[in-house]
Structure 1
Amino acid sequence: MKKDEIRLGDTVRAKVKEDMEHVFTGKVQKKYENSALLEITDYDPSDKQNAAELNFKIVINFKAVTKNLGGGHDPEPEPQPDEAQSPQK
């Protein structure tokens, strides 16, 4: 899946052979250039030990995302300094 197709807060299904043996579901916490930090929310019972060892968090490449279930939001723009809000002298 492409970076532009995934937003913060989206729930996604992913498969990462190195860390989890089965497909799992996670919520996007942070996006990087080619990957995302997920909070693991649902997993196969046989992966309980793996998820616990990862503290229920994992960084995955966007290519590992098999399905985007949505629910996220676009990041809010950072507030710009405004002269009207500056303190009076």
Structure 2
Amino acid sequence: MEKKFAIGDTVKCQKFASLNHDFEGKIQKIYENSAMVEITNYHQEDTIAVGDFHNRAVVSLKKMKKISA
């Protein structure tokens, strides 16, 4: 995979599970094919789901795009 992600990068992630909208977050930890993302910006309709996730989610690297470092 050519995309390079680093801890602290801000990324846009595709919706999954009980989230109905895409969201933005900051990478906290990188795994082999995924990353732990602290959810920082999300649609108001997803407030309960984000709370259930404790503002964190493990997201596939294929399902995210870097916004800024």
* Superposition TM-score, scaled by structure 2 size: 0.90
8 Å CA contact retained: 1:16, 1:60? no
Q: Distance in 2 between matches of 1:28 and 1:48?
A: 20
Alignment size in residue pairs: 69
- 1:42, 1:3 → 2: CA distance? 26
Residue 59 of structure 2 aligns with which residue?
A: 60
The worse-fitting range, judged by mean Cα deviation, of 29-38 and 11-20 is 11-20
Contact 1:12–1:69 (8 Å) recurs in 2: yes
Q: What stretches of structure 2 of length at least 5 have no aligned partner?
A: none
Q: TM-score, normalised by structure 1?
A: 0.71
Distance 1:3 1:48, change over 3 A: farther
The RMSD of aligned alpha carbons is 1.4
Q: Closer, same or farther in 2 for the Cα pair 1:33/1:3, shift >3 Å?
A: farther
In 2, Cα distance between equivalents of 1:4 and 1:23: 19
